[in-house]
Amino acid sequence: MSKRKRGRELGLPFPGTPGQWNAITDVPGVEVGQVTLISGEGPLKVGHGPVRTGVTAILPRGRAKAHVPCAAGYYALNGNGEMTGVVWIEECGELQTPITITNTHSCGVTRDATIRWLVTQGVGTGQDWGLPVAAETYDGDLNDINGFHVTAEHTMAALDSAISGPVAMGSVGGGTGMLTYDFKAGNGSASRVVEISGQRYTLGVFVQSNFGRREDFTVLGVPVGRHLPEGKLRGKEQGSVIAIVATDAPLMAHQLKRLARRVPLGLARTGTVGNNSSGDIFLAFSTANEQALSQRSGVARMETLGNADIDKLFLATVEATEEAVIDAMLMAETMVGRDGNTAVALPADALLQLMRNYQRI
């Protein structure tokens, strides 16, 4: 786990009230597991390395209730990427499997391995088939992406290791080889606690962050990227971002799609405009209505918030997305990958000085 500090620990004044771990796992039941693969150095030799990759697994209701679907909604800002299983989610409004996130050329492996894991674990939803959600972003700047180093065994290990509690961030799991705004990045997460009609709800966001031009990078309104020009690896807008939004607020599928549509507003606060080459794909789910969603036939009664009460969850999504991206960068350390390609870490001291100069802290 990285020894670097998250934004709040450094004094960045992110708005909103986070949960205990300030992560997607603050939503009761949500578990995250990760397998990180780092080996080799020097020139790229396809099939041998260097390897800078991994896989992240998210269990919406945890292992004990992996058989219970969640209401869910999906949205793509820009479609140069992949998230499997979303056609069925659009059709039925349910997320029925764990979620895996990895590199672009391992997405199919983690999808198929998730089915194997479900079969091995004896997890079923009352049907004899499954359409797992597997998503990806590109790590080929640092990783031997055409060496296909992520295996079914790695995926099942990530699923087996999923737990609640603090979430490792930065260069771990599927985010191992990722960059954001041309700094080393990877995985980030954040949460918000909100009160609606006298009830407290938690919303958490997890991102695999891999996008953006350095010049556009913004932190809490400060254009820090234009002041930190050194150490670029890509030097252009390239890559993607996957965001998973979880909440225990009772929402229907169409309302969860509305939450997913707010993710881009949080990303925009960090500076991106969703460029052509970016796969910006988002999924939101609710862990509420467990009993109703366990029922596979007959009349099921579900609770839902009224649309007039959803604004606080919109704001929570935007705020948590912004913070998750910044933390994905702050928690990542400089990494040297294939052919000596170097992704430099976001310099926290220089960032804080810029924030002081702009009177933001």
Cα Rg of the chain, angstroms? 19
Q: Which residues pair with 196 in a beta bridge?
A: 199
Pairing of strands 31-39, 342-343: unpaired
Choosing from 106, 171, 278, 286, the catalytic residue is: 278
Token code pair at residue 80: 């140069």
- Give the separation between CA 73 and CA 168, rounded to whole angstroms: 26
CB 186 within 8 A of CB 209: yes
Checking phi first, is residue 66 left (phi over 0); if not, alpha (psi -120 to 50) or beta?
alpha
Q: Is 191 assigned a catalytic role? A: no
Sheet (strand 279-286) strand order? 94-95, 70-79, 279-286, 240-247, 199-210, 187-196
CA 313 to chain centre: 18
Query: What secondary structure letter does DSSP report for 163?
Result: B
Q: Is 278 assigned a catalytic role? A: yes
Choosing from 144, 240, 248, 286, the catalytic residue is: 240
Q: Is 280 assigned a catalytic role? A: yes
Nearest CA among 87, 76, 86 for reference residue 281: 76
The length of the chain is 361
Give the dihedral of Cα atoms 86, 88, 90, 91; nearest 10 deg: 170
Choosing from 139, 144, 216, 280, the catalytic residue is: 280
What are the residues whose beta carbons fall under 8 Å from the beta carbon of 230, sequence distance 6 or more?
A: 344
* Residue 357 parent element (H or E): helix 348-357
- Give the separation between CA 1 and CA 279, rounded to whole angstroms: 27
Measured CA to CA in angstroms, residue 208 lies from 101, 237, 295 at distances of 8, 16, 33
Nearest CA among 240, 267, 60, 27 for reference residue 139: 240
Point out the residues that are catalytic. 240, 278, 280
